[in-house]
Structure 1
Amino acid sequence: MILSIDVQLQYRLSQPTDLLLQIEVADQVDQIVRQTRIDFSKVENISRIAADDGLGQRIWLRANGLFQCDYSANIQIDRPVTDLSALPATPPHQLPGETVRYLMPSRYCPSDEFQTFVAAEFGHLSGGAQITSMRDWIERSFQYVPGVSNAQTTALDSFVQRQGICRDYAHVLVTLARAATIPARFASVYAPGVTPPDFHAVAEVYLGGAWHLVDPTGMASSADIARIGVGADAASVAFLNIFGQAEFVAQSVSVQED
């Protein structure tokens, strides 16, 4: 699978402002960046730092006035589709250290409040079969409705409302998985076929000794997804953090299969 990605961002800044950007695809064994380019309008500073779990990079910028970013990339995805239902869970005492933080509740994923529900609804299953059942339950029970959630919406809010966007779907699956003692993290990604075209969000779960992408919206297959970054939830892997005031001007995201 070859993906061509094009992104344009525009914001108006009223004074010098620090920005933290994470929109570039991470170069990994299962997703090779064949070509890439990123251009900015006039900025005072550009510096790169490692992102969470060493997956990808963030870019510190300082800009003023009209800020514009243009990013394009050509990505080769080489990731076979795995039958999640056949994968075992790793007993907690055998989990590697880097996965432990993804068992814990986080800002948008209060997994400790879902343990009773998960035991009642999914307790007869384990491992990948449990995750598959959770994914199917979310896709079946939720409605994809833009505009009903915001930056404060948690998995608990989405669970009650039974609607949201990809960010909310991913938060719910991450939360349910953690409540079942399966490490799960939030992944910011690109994927073709996302409607409306935009940055996409999915979950990653730790099963059978490896991380596996899972899209509870049903829009994307793991074989078609290009990771940007991962974190405990959306708060730690936003595509743009603005440390000041900014006016949104325009945004476009295009992901095409070549």
Structure 2
Amino acid sequence: MQLHRLDDKMNQENALPTSTEQKLLQDIDVHLVYDLEGATDLLLQVEVPDFADQRIEDEKIVISETEHLYRVSAEDGIGMRLWIRADGRFTYDYSVRVHVDRPSLDLSMLDAVAPHLLPGDTVRYLMPSRYCPAELFQSFVGAEFGHLSGGARVVAMRDWVRSAFSYVPGSSNALTTALDSFMQRQGVCRDYAHVLIALVRASAIPARFVSAYAPGVDPQDFHAVVEVFLDGTWHLVDATGMAPADTIARVGVGLDAAEVSFLTSYGRIRMVEQSVASVVVS
């Protein structure tokens, strides 16, 4: 079964102004194969949404036979999810060429927005969440970064996470929270993002989890970064240092990883194959 993209009007309305120069061209390929134990509901969020700062072309999606397939909007209207009901061997192949046209800004020069002036749709990203108990980090943030404000504080916290943590695949699992990672000083991109989000929210600055693709990620996989709300808009930050903002292709956003999983299964499944590749074309 081959799918074609539906127009996402909300994404187009929220798009940033375009630039006349394409900054980065990359090809993304995703291959998933799972065995399902009986008829199972799956929720996928893998596709790259089309924005002015990340234009898509040559998109192709091929899915094995399903009992049910339906598109729904993802969190904050950014991207789409696929509701799927299938049985037996399930395969999903996604390929897309993305033009990333996004400036790389010096976040340290940006101001925070006072909480009482924040737009309503950013307020939820100040709150503690399942994996980001921000209230537990307020004392640490005040002691370590209290002399800084706005983007300068965000940059300092990003740099602290990058230098204090070791990137260790397999060191965390689906239950690991930002507090766990903070204590262990190790993790993967998901954990780096959760810790930075907790620190930023503890500073009264909205921060949200972003699922993404980026060519600099090693090993190649679904990647996790952060968006922070400064100077009236969202800005990408990667605490691992592997993905500069001008190389990232966003997939979706949420409070933490629980809201932006690439695959959520409502039944028992077994992974057979899984691969992700993002390659710079020019």
Q: Are residue 61 (structure 1) and residue 54 (structure 2) matched? A: no
2:269 aligned partner: 246
Identity %: 60
Structure 1 residue corresponding to 2:232, chosen from 192, 198, 209: 209
Displacement, 1:113? 0.4
Distance 1:126 1:166 in 2: 25
Secondary structure at the counterpart of residue 138 of structure 1: helix
Question: Per-residue CA shift, 1:91-147, capped at 9, x if unaligned?
Answer: 000000000000000000000000000000011000000000000000000000000
Displacement, 1:35? 2.1
1:256 aligned partner: 279
Kept in 1: contact 2:37–2:267 (CA 8 A): no
1:142 aligned partner: 165
- Residue type at the aligned position of 2:258: A
Distance 2:74 2:261 in 1: 11
| TM-score, L = length of structure 1 | 0.99
Q: Are residue 35 (structure 1) and residue 58 (structure 2) matched? A: yes
Q: Are residue 11 (structure 1) and residue 34 (structure 2) matched? A: yes
Displacement, 1:251? 0.3
Question: Per-residue CA shift, 1:59-116, capped at 9, x if unaligned?
Answer: 0001100000000000000100011000000000000000000000000000000000
Distance 1:230 1:39 in 2: 24
Distance 1:14 1:58 in 2: 22
Q: Are residue 114 (structure 1) and residue 137 (structure 2) matched? A: yes
Displacement, 1:42? 1.1
- Residue type at the aligned position of 1:256: V
Structure 1 residue corresponding to 2:115, chosen from 80, 89, 92: 92
1:166 aligned partner: 189
Distance 2:135 2:180 in 1: 15
1:45 aligned partner: 68
Q: Are residue 199 (structure 1) and residue 222 (structure 2) matched? A: yes
How many residues are paired up?
258
Displacement, 1:32? 0.8
| TM-score, L = length of structure 2 | 0.91
Distance 1:142 1:34 in 2: 37
Give the superposed CA RMSD: 0.5
Secondary structure at the counterpart of residue 27 of structure 1: coil
Q: Are residue 181 (structure 1) and residue 166 (structure 2) matched? A: no
- Residue type at the aligned position of 1:37: K
Question: Per-residue CA shift, 1:200-243, capped at 9, x if unaligned?
Answer: 00010000101000000000100000000000000000000000
Question: Per-residue CA shift, 1:138-183, capped at 9, x if unaligned?
Answer: 0000000000100000000000000000000000000000000000
